[in-house]
Amino acid sequence: MTDHNATRSEGANVFFIITSGDVRHALTDICNSLRQLGCGGDQIMQTEIVLAEILNNIVEHAYSGTEPNQISVLVDAAASTLQVEIRDFGIAMPGGKLPDGHLPSAIPDDVANWPEGGFGWAMIRELADDLSYQRVGDENVVQFRIGVNS
């Protein structure tokens, strides 16, 4: 086995502290790290989709109108199911809970009636298992899991 042929091992964690101005590069780095830990392509893709939506939501809402701020992302890759925790110091979720994010069960044929938003939370809720939100002191803490076949 070569050095760069990393395998997932017990206690394998990916931890990133990112600034809210650089979500794009952070996502690429996190996915590369998960790949090096031996995670499968489909699981990484699903993790990236959910992470992208949650991080963008933090930038656009929790840190809205502020200077670039810190977001931490911890992915516990020790087991086959990835356990992800995202923390930020922005404003709390309205109502102390995550948005519902439902799309219509069928998209209307007429383009004028197509949904214009709600895609993000709909995708998060489709892909993320055990999704939770807590306000802990000054921090927002979002946790979720992505299984091998979520």
Please give the residue ranges that form the binding site for other proteins (CB under 8 A).
23-24, 27, 41, 45-46, 48-49, 52-53, 56, 59-60, 103, 106-112, 114-117, 119-120, 122-123, 126-127
Nearer to other proteins, 21 or 38 (CB): 21
Q: Please identify which residue in the block is written with the tokens 């931890």.
A: 15
Nearer to other proteins, 111 or 136 (CB): 111
Side chain identity, residue 2: T
Q: What is the DSSP string of 39-96?
A: --HHHHHHHHHHHHHHHHHIIIIITTTS---EEEEEEE-SSSSEEEEEEE-SPPPGGG
Nearer to other proteins, 25 or 135 (CB): 25
The nearest distance, CB 45 to other proteins, in angstroms, is 5
